[in-house]
Amino acid sequence: MSDHSTTIVPALSAYPGKEDKAKEILNWLVAEDIIKPTLSDCVLSASGGYAIAEGARAVIGSAKRGPFDLAVNGLEIVTERQVFDTGGNGVEELICPSCDQDLAAEDWSFIDDWYQGHTNDVVCPVCNTAADIHLFRFTPVWGFSDLGFRFWNLPDLTEAFINRFQQKLGCTVSVVYQRI
């Protein structure tokens, strides 16, 4: 069985006050008993994560039992600019908001300036038009931000939970499903 994650990513390249917001979300998730309050090695990250707690059963969809006994089963909070990709799920299409062309087969170096933090826009290699990276349509969904909340090996999160997360973040979110 391979590991997978579901990451909730604000649709903002540079989230204002990201460290404070990360702490606020962490405190909320601990108060709801969705995660445990101490860092552990429960995620696939050297910086550690927060193990899943019993209250997480209330925010998962179809499999209420959940795989709570896995070694990799927790929340990783990312506070550095990152492309939140789908891993083994790949990308089927990447549509430019200006020319409506599918860029999935193009050289993806046009995203480099965004990744390095030089700009929040990317320039389409087909029409040479700059647009905010969040206007490009990725199928399946990818995320682009300096803040992200990656849940490792949890079943589907409920729509209600994702909506609450979006309210707490105060902006639209991308939900990225990754398989590694």
Give 18's DSSP letter: H
Read off the pLDDT of residues 121-143 as tens digits, 9 standing for 90 and up. 999 999 999 999 999 999 999 99
Domain spans in the chain, listed from the N-terminal domain onward: 4-84+142-179, 97-139
- Number of residues in the chain: 180
Token digits for 51?
A: 């193990």
Contacts of 106 (CB under 8 A, 6+ apart): 94, 125, 126
pLDDT score for 65: 61
CA distance 44 to 93: 27
Ramachandran bin of 37, using left for φ above 0, alpha for ψ from -120 to 50, beta for the remaining angles: alpha
Query: Mean per-residue pLDDT for 152-180?
Result: 95
Read off the pLDDT of residues 19-34 as tens digits, 9 standing for 90 and up. 999 999 999 999 999 9
CA dihedral 88, 81, 46, 38 (to 10 degrees): -110
Residue owning tokens 């990317």 = 122
Contact (Cβ atoms closer than 8 angstroms) between residue 94 and residue 124: no
What predicted TM-score, i.e. pTM, was given to this entire model? 0.94
- Model confidence band, residue 161 (pLDDT cutoffs 50, 70, 90): very high
